[in-house]
Amino acid sequence: MLASLEGAVTAATLALTAMGLSLVFGVMRVVNVAHGEFYMLGAVIAWFVSTTLGTHPAIGFVGALIVAPVLVGLLAAAADRLILARINYDPERTIVATIGLLYILQQSTLMTFGPDARPVEPPFNSRIALPWWRQGENGLEMFYPWGLATTSYKLFIIVAAVAILIGLWVLLTRTRIGLVMRATQADREMATAFGIPVERVYAMVFGLGAGLAALGAVLIVPVQQAHYLMGADPLLLSFIVVIIGGLGSLPGTIIAALLIGMSDGIISVFFSPTLAKILATLVVAMVLVFRPQGLLGKASA
Amino acid sequence: MTDKTPTRAPFTRRAALATLGATGASLAVPGLLPGLGGTAQAQSGDPIKIGFQVHRTGIGAAYGRWYDRTSQAAVARINDMGGINGRPVELVSEDDGTDPKRGAEVLEKFANQSNCDVAFGTLFSHVVIGSAPRAAELKLPYFVVSEGHHVASGMLNRYTLQPGITDVKSQVIAMAPFVGDNLGKKVTMMFADFAFGHDHRDFFSEAIKEQGGKVIKMIAIPPTETSFTKYFPQIPQETEVLYHVMVGPAVLTFVKEMGEFFGPSRPEIFGYIDSLEAVSIDSPGLEFLEGTYFWEGNPRYAQTDQTEFDKAFREAVGVDDSGASITDPADVSTYAHMFGCWETLNVIKAGMEACNYQGPEDRQALIEAVEAMTEMPASMDHPQGDKLFNGKTHQVFGVQYISKVEDGMLKVVHTTSIEDGFYPDEVDYTTQPF
Amino acid sequence: MTAATRDAALHLGVLTLLAGLWFVLPTYHSGNLARIMVLAVYAMGYNLLFGYTGLLSLGHALFFAAGMYGLAIAMQQGGWSAAPGFLAGLIAALVVSGVAGALALRTTGVAFMIVTLMFAQAGYLTVLYFGAITRGDEGFVIPQAARSLAGIDLTTPANRYFAALILFGAVFLGLAWLVRSPFGRTLIAIRENEARAKMLGYDTHAYKLRAVILSGTISGASGAAYALLFGYAGATFATVQYSIFPLLWVLLGGAGTTIGPLIGAIFMFYLIDLASGVTDAYMLIAGVVLVLLTLFAPQGLAGTLRNRVWPWLP
């Protein structure tokens, strides 16, 4: 049970990060290898904000929640205008360019933020222990065993991620911006013909995608730490989630995030952890091999 | 910046001419020939060059930074005392990217381009093991500060030595009596599923058996893991001692989640400070560590019975009494390991003086001189404590510290003897040809 | 000059130049070049799949590592000598790429990238899982005494250089011939338009599978040669980073050119080596250069040459 709760925390941040990647992929049809670094930047900025404000952790946290995604989003949009737009979103060149971007962001962070993992204090954090019952001398007795506990902050992550995802869904389906994005996704030429400023939409999508990654990182950083190499794992996992979920399919992305987040914890109950990772990786790969369009993708992906 | 790239050795006229010739001959490939080292012979006023492999980037960067500071301080001290054999010492630093391929390339650069006399440095075992074969082929003495068992296991070669830091096998064996006698007999181990973690697993379960104890469960954590809570339920309820050793940037998460998992009812916890190297003990979420035990290679907090050597060492490197940088108290050092750089450089100095080292032609004599070393008493050259060097296995053995977290500080509660960490020799490098 | 003689002149000229460089380059640079040639073999293997067949794999480290461990484990655990050890490396890479290829080729495009990436990740974890044999991340050394081939000690600089050159030359000439052969032309046709190649009656799946296996085996040859010549095998070489390297080398040098992989590997090596002499932030410089190259030389160095100067470049 605890494993599934942990899985849900992983899934929640993963869903946000992967959603960013999925949006970029869905609308712009490019693979952003630097996505993990935007995630990392989100965590690092959260650390800077909370240490500069330095008062109550909650203020720093709220500050980071606003500042980090906005800054990262702006940076990403600038990168889009300066680099990606100029290479015309050619898929291969975009991969190289974003690998270059990855190096630049990573090294700049190493030089400014340093090589250490730095913790950010959660805005609130209390250990919630759950009781359990066992057959004792006086019949059934209640006790608090090891481990049957979680923290309030972890529950908050799940709630917050769900709220943000709902917000995103509203943005995409109920607003003009969302409509414009979906139109661009469906047919770029047609969108241009209808006077949609496709270039600006692209920059916005790229920024929004990076911002979502940063947001996921701000949420998770009080649990983990900010570190300049932290972007690699979320990048790999997001990739997997996006593909499994079906390219550009947002509900698919969420389901896949849940699946990946949960499967890891559950398989590891049965096997040695490293073997579990190997199996989980292969299972996911096999899903792709035998259902290349992803779980919810349309047949012709 | 103190760690600038090295200035090149001044050319002699002949070498310069030879270099010009070589450059002329290879004009066909312009751009391929930056900074020809040439074959300049060392002159008596020339510096002794020590090539320093350092983890500036990659996963080892937190260690690399402090290894760098410690080494710079040690070289400054050596130069203040008149250098080695009357010659100044120059540290030629190159980033190895914490990568075994780049590590090997860096050694080649030391030997063939920057004309270093010896190579030195680095922590991560894979970089050491990836580089060591090249050291033997280049006939370049390679002094490592890695604490891995690779040197003493006989896997490496006559040119690779570890005279500044005790290897992990010895450390672990020395811990078992304390754990068995004071903390409990039923041990659960949690370790990174790395060779480093496997060394702990194998050597400790062996050693605790001799103490009448038993490892009842081993939990290997995949190195790519970032969240650990799902592993804690595997800890058996009858566990008396939890032994943890993790490395990498996620260690703080590990320790924090361990605290959240156990809450107030925890077993005794014994860990390697590697799990918290470069991390402040008073980081948020670590309060539960109060009362738990750590191995320390060198006590991070200045103890009440601090030696004058430790005091002077801290001062020279720029570390305060709580093991953090003097200029930034949030910048915690890798205190349990970095003394090894300081001591290794002093061993290089002592070895070069013993064999009256003049230049690369004396490299074998240098290795023989170091192999002949035995006792290294605690001193300004060896501020961590007494040591005994085993010339056959190329490995040094020293005292180890066990500290308990009290009032948010690490207090040494037990110091092992050197003999606690002895094990039978597994190799005799002195019988190998150069 | 006919196209065939011009091709031959170019490729033999490159090899002659490389052989001649041994006599003029100072030790440090000839040592580097030996390593670069071994890695260029990896890049050429990658280029066959990516540059000529149009399949972008993010998991080639799996094949490189299969070759490396095939040789290293056979020599270390099995006590084999170098020649059968090298063969074991090739076979390991052949088998792994056959299985991985057969599965991964059921997908296309980005899904192919991800599946290969995940296979490689599983391979990396497998190396760690069998730590008792592989020593996991730490890796192990292949003893200097064992590293000789037919009585020739491969650990001296000269022998290493020429062993690397022979391997490089064999693959270089072999691929130059291959891409001009009907098989190679079919691969290019698949890259340009798979549907059309299919319509013309080619069994494109079989061609692609053969390309993956050949590409994987060449990559494995590079991994085995690296272990043999430099004496070390470790899990680092199975990480994602080592899957990305050949992609970078090939893209920098010029995808779909025979000479591109070598140029890319040389360029990247010296970019990092020189930059690291100037500043610690050499990855920053590497990043900026990558971005600039995509902006201004999108076909890679050799590709740009082909576009601007020598349209005949193979």
Place of tokens 């989640």: B257
Query: Which CATH number does the domain housing residue B349 bear?
Result: 3.40.50.2300
Domain shared by B79 and B215, yes or no? no
Half-sphere CA count of B257, side-chain side, radius 13 A = 24
Q: Could you say which of A31, A288, A301 has the minimum Cβ distance to residue C115?
A: A288
CA B282, CA B372: separation in Å to the nearest integer?
44
Tell me the chain A residues in contact with residue B231 when contact means C-beta distances shorter than 8 Å: 268, 273
CA A259, CA B333: separation in Å to the nearest integer?
40
Assigned domain for C311 exists: no
Place of tokens 């070289």: B75
Domain shared by B92 and B151, yes or no? yes
- Put simply, whether B419 touches A (Cβ < 8 Å) is no
The answer to whether B145 touches B122, Cβ cutoff 8 Å, is yes
Q: Which chains touch B (3 or more CB pairs under 8 A)?
A: A, C
CA C259, CA C257: separation in Å to the nearest integer?
6
The answer to whether B141 touches B165, Cβ cutoff 8 Å, is no
Element (H, E) at C140: strand C140-141
Question: Cα B360 to chain center, whole Å?
Answer: 25
Domain shared by B357 and B278, yes or no? no
For residue A270, pLDDT beyond 70: no
Beta carbons of B222 and A273 less than 8 Å apart: yes
C309 burial class (0-12, 13-18, 19+ CB within 10 angstroms)? exposed
Output the CA–CA distances (angstroms, integers) from residue A236 to A21, C115, C131, in the order listed. Answer: 11, 11, 24
- Put simply, whether B422 touches A (Cβ < 8 Å) is no
Please state the rounded mean pLDDT for residues C79-96.
Answer: 91
Q: Could you say which of B102, B104, B224 has the minimum Cβ distance to residue C230?
A: B104
Place of tokens 């082929």: B137
Instruction: State both tokens at A229.
Output: 């190499």
What is the band of C210 on the pLDDT scale with cuts at 50, 70, 90? very high
Q: Please name the residue of chain B whose CA is at the shortest distance from the CA of residue C20.
A: B26
Which residues does residue B289 pair with via DSSP β-bridges, in sequence order?
none
- Put simply, whether B285 touches A (Cβ < 8 Å) is yes
C253 burial class (0-12, 13-18, 19+ CB within 10 angstroms)? buried
Please state the rounded mean pLDDT for residues C188-217.
Answer: 89
Q: Where would I find the H helices in C48-155?
A: 61-76, 82-104, 109-129, 131-134
The answer to whether B411 touches B301, Cβ cutoff 8 Å, is yes
CA A31, CA A206: separation in Å to the nearest integer?
11
pLDDT 10s digits, B313-347: 888 888 888 888 888 887 888 888 899 999 999 99
Q: Where would I find the H helices in chain A?
A: 2-28, 35-53, 57-79, 91-112, 152-174, 176-186, 188-193, 198-220, 232-245, 250-270, 273-290
CA B295, CA B40: separation in Å to the nearest integer?
47
What is the band of B41 on the pLDDT scale with cuts at 50, 70, 90? very low
Assigned domain for C260 exists: no
Residue window 14-53, chain A: list those with CB within 8 Å of chain C. Answer: 25, 31
For residue B13, pLDDT beyond 70: no
For residue C226, pLDDT beyond 90: yes
CA A246, CA A262: separation in Å to the nearest integer?
18
Question: Cα B400 to chain center, whole Å?
Answer: 14
Record the pTM: 0.82
Instruction: State both tokens at B157.
Output: 């070669």
Assigned domain for C23 exists: yes
Q: Which chains touch A (3 or more CB pairs under 8 A)?
A: B, C
Domain shared by B346 and B274, yes or no? no
CA A63, CA C5: separation in Å to the nearest integer?
68
Domain shared by B289 and B251, yes or no? yes
Tell me the chain C residues in contact with residue A301 when contact means C-beta distances shorter than 8 Å: 109, 111
Assigned domain for B1 exists: no
Domain shared by B115 and B238, yes or no? no
pLDDT 10s digits, A286-300: 877 887 666 655 544
Q: Could you say which of B59, B231, B253 has the minimum Cβ distance to residue A224?
A: B253
B85-123 in b/e form (b: 16+ CB < 10 A) is: eebebbbbbbbbbbbbbbbbbbbbbbbbbbbbbbbbbbb
- Put simply, whether A106 touches C (Cβ < 8 Å) is yes
What is the band of B18 on the pLDDT scale with cuts at 50, 70, 90? very low
Assigned domain for C252 exists: no
More confident of the two residues C275 and A104: A104
CA C157, CA B112: separation in Å to the nearest integer?
12
Assigned domain for C292 exists: no
Assigned domain for C283 exists: no
Element (H, E) at C5: helix C3-24
For residue A50, pLDDT beyond 90: no
For residue A136, pLDDT beyond 60: no
- B182, amino acid identity: N
For residue B29, pLDDT beyond 50: no
More confident of the two residues A270 and A50: A50
Assigned domain for B304 exists: no
Q: Could you say which of B95, B108, B132 has the minimum Cβ distance to residue C141?
A: B132
Tell me the chain B residues in contact with residue C236 when contact means C-beta distances shorter than 8 Å: 99-101, 126, 130
Domain shared by B89 and B150, yes or no? yes
CA A224, CA A229: separation in Å to the nearest integer?
13
DSSP codes joined into one string, A33-83: TTHHHHHHHHHHHHHHHHHHH-S-HHHHHHHHHHHHHHHHHHHHHHHIIII
To the nearest 10°, report the CA torsion of A53, A59, A61, A62: -120
Domain shared by B173 and B147, yes or no? no
More confident of the two residues B47 and A294: B47
Domain shared by B140 and B68, yes or no? yes
For residue B9, pLDDT beyond 50: no
How far off is chain B from C240, nearest CA to CA, in Å? 12
- Mutate which of B113, B116, B167, B196 to disrupt the C interface (most C C-beta within 10 Å)? B113
Beta carbons of B252 and A119 less than 8 Å apart: yes
CA B225, CA A265: separation in Å to the nearest integer?
11
CA B242, CA B269: separation in Å to the nearest integer?
5
- Put simply, whether B278 touches A (Cβ < 8 Å) is yes
Phi, psi (deg, nearest 5) at residue B330: -85, -10
Assigned domain for C248 exists: no
What is the band of B249 on the pLDDT scale with cuts at 50, 70, 90? low
> What was the pLDDT predicted at B28?
38
Share of residues in chain C with pLDDT > 90 (%): 28
Tell me the chain C residues in contact with residue B28 when contact means C-beta distances shorter than 8 Å: 17, 24
Place of tokens 């071994």: C38
How far off is chain C from A249, nearest CA to CA, in Å? 14
* Structural domain boundaries, residue B363: 13-18+43-166+338-398
| Secondary structure, 3-state, chain B | CCCCCCCCCCCCHHHHHHHHHHHHHCCCCCCCCCCCCCCCCCCCCCCEEEEEEECCCCCCHHHHHHHHHHHHHHHHHHHHCCCECCECEEEEEEECCCCHHHHHHHHHHHHHHCCCCEEEECCCHHHHHHHHHHHHHHCCCEEECCCCCCCCCCCCCCCEEECCCCCHHHHHHHHHHHHHHHHCCEEEEEEECCHHHHHHHHHHHHHHHHCCCEEEEEEEECCCCCCCHHHHHHCCCCCCEEEEECCCCCHHHHHHHHHHHHCCCCCEEEEEHHHHCCCCCCCCCCHHHCCCEEEECCCCCCCCCCCHHHHHHHHHHCECCCCEECCCCCCECCHHHHHHHHHHHHHHHHHHHHCCCCCHHHHHHHHHHHHCCCEECCCCCCCCCCEEEECCCCEEEECCEEEEEECCEEEEEEECCHHHHCCCCCCCHHHCCC
Domain shared by B203 and B279, yes or no? yes
Cβ atoms within 10 A of the Cβ of B388, count?
A: 19
Question: For chain A, which residues make up each domain, given as ranges?
Answer: 2-290
Domain shared by B345 and B377, yes or no? yes
- Put simply, whether C115 touches A (Cβ < 8 Å) is yes
- Put simply, whether C99 touches A (Cβ < 8 Å) is no
Domain shared by B120 and B234, yes or no? no
> What was the pLDDT predicted at A2?
58
Assigned domain for C272 exists: no
* Structural domain boundaries, residue C85: 11-240
CA A218, CA B305: separation in Å to the nearest integer?
44
A16 burial class (0-12, 13-18, 19+ CB within 10 angstroms)? buried
Tell me the chain C residues in contact with residue B22 when contact means C-beta distances shorter than 8 Å: 24, 26
CA B190, CA A49: separation in Å to the nearest integer?
34
Considering its fold, how many domains does chain B have in total? 2
Assigned domain for B7 exists: no
- C10, amino acid identity: L
Please state the rounded mean pLDDT for residues C110-135.
Answer: 85
Radius of gyration (C-alpha) of chain B in whole angstroms? 22
How many residues in total does chain C contain? 314
The answer to whether B194 touches B168, Cβ cutoff 8 Å, is no
CA B310, CA B401: separation in Å to the nearest integer?
14
What contacts C44, CB < 8 A, 6 or more positions away?
C171, C172, C175, C218, C258, C261, C262
Closest CA to B374 of B391, B386, B356: B391
pLDDT 10s digits, C244-261: 889 888 888 888 888 889
Instruction: State both tokens at B183.
Output: 């903390």
Q: Could you say which of C129, C231, C236 has the minimum Cβ distance to residue B126?
A: C236
How far off is chain C from A296, nearest CA to CA, in Å? 14
Please state the rounded mean pLDDT for residues A247-256.
Answer: 78
The CATH number, out of the four listed (3.40.50, 2.30.42, 1.20.140, 1.10.3470), of the domain defined by the range A2-290: 1.10.3470
Q: Is A229 helix (H, G, I), strand (E, B) or coil?
A: coil
CA C53, CA A16: separation in Å to the nearest integer?
35
CA A182, CA A248: separation in Å to the nearest integer?
10
Please state the rounded mean pLDDT for residues A242-252.
Answer: 75
For residue A182, pLDDT beyond 60: yes
Beta carbons of C115 and A285 less than 8 Å apart: yes
pLDDT 10s digits, C150-168: 778 888 888 899 999 999 9
Place of tokens 């900010």: A226
Q: Could you say which of C114, C288, C298 has the minimum Cβ distance to residue A240?
A: C114
The answer to whether A54 touches A223, Cβ cutoff 8 Å, is no
Question: Cα B353 to chain center, whole Å?
Answer: 23
Tell me the chain B residues in contact with residue A119 when contact means C-beta distances shorter than 8 Å: 252, 283-285
CA B219, CA B192: separation in Å to the nearest integer?
9
Beta carbons of C28 and B108 less than 8 Å apart: yes
Assigned domain for B214 exists: yes
> What was the pLDDT predicted at B37?
39
> What was the pLDDT predicted at B409?
86
